[in-house]
A = this chain, B = another copy of it.
Amino acid sequence: MYTVAEENYIKSIYHLQRHQKSVHTNDLAAELNTRAASATDMIKKLEAKGLLKYEKYYGCSLTKSGKKLALNIIRRHRLWEFFLSEKLGFGWEEVHAVAEQLEHVQSDLLTDKLDAYLGFPRFDPHGDPIPDTLGNMAAREQTPLSLWTSQAPAEVCGVGSQDESFLEMLSLKQLEIGCRLTVLRHFNFDKTVELQLATGSSFTISEMLAKNIFVKPVEV
């Protein structure tokens, strides 16, 4: 149906659209490690296929059918990540790269059978919600630790990057999905955050790290 390149563009546009209303050529090119000229070309092709709306020099945004396709690709990606992590024993820093390939296997039957086999999981190993067949998914709560001011205990429920070294660092510091902690204080000078794990150990993390760890209130 769609080429790998087309699917990668659609997925990237979808992700960029969460932050901007309209997706700019340069941002898209950066996201896909390609050049603006190439992005412009592909945007035109995707518009011709009715997957997005495009206004010259302004940007593009997905149509209904573009969004539907994006959600299907994201569904495949996250289901495979869950499979790799849960069934095959991959580390959460390893799954993304392999899922980038697996997400392009086109078979709705496969996707749905995989979903059922995995027990209809609602979140991938990074805490991102998995869309169902219709494209519905859990709303993501993503308060970054950098903005978490409450004294109440918090639970790590997501991460803001798929970077391998970032995820490895989190594992090393025992900061994985589901882990509980309290924020002891925010240092205003350099925006570092001091926190304490449920295990008792406490330490300080950089602003960059704090921005990429999402937490939610601990369920009662």
Contact = CB atoms under 8 A, between A and B. Distances in A.
A52 to B, nearest CB: 26
Nearest to A101: B105
Identify which of A89, A94, A110 gathers the most chain B CB atoms within 10 Å of its CB: A110
A102 interface: yes
A109 interface: yes
B94 A109 contact: yes
Given A84-B110, A110-B84, A98 B89 contact: no
A88 B90 CA distance: 20
Interface in A1-55: none
A114 B110 CA distance: 16
Contacts of A174: none
Contacts of A105: 98, 101-102, 105
Contacts of A90: 109, 113
A117 interface: yes
A106 interface: yes
Given A89-B113, A113-B88, A117-B88, A101 B107 contact: yes
A87 interface: yes
A89 B88 CA distance: 18
Interface in A34-93: 84, 87-90
A1 to B, nearest CB: 12
Contacts of A109: 90, 94, 98
B101 A114 contact: no
Contacts of A84: 110
Contacts of A113: 88-90
Contact of A98 (B87, B88, B98, B110): B110
Given A84-B110, A88-B114, A90-B109, 4 more contacts: A89-B113, A97-B107, A98-B110, A101-B106
16 contacts: A84-B110, A87-B117, A88-B110, A88-B113, A88-B114, A89-B113, A89-B117, A90-B109, A90-B113, A94-B109, A98-B105, A98-B109, A101-B106, A101-B107, A102-B102, A105-B105
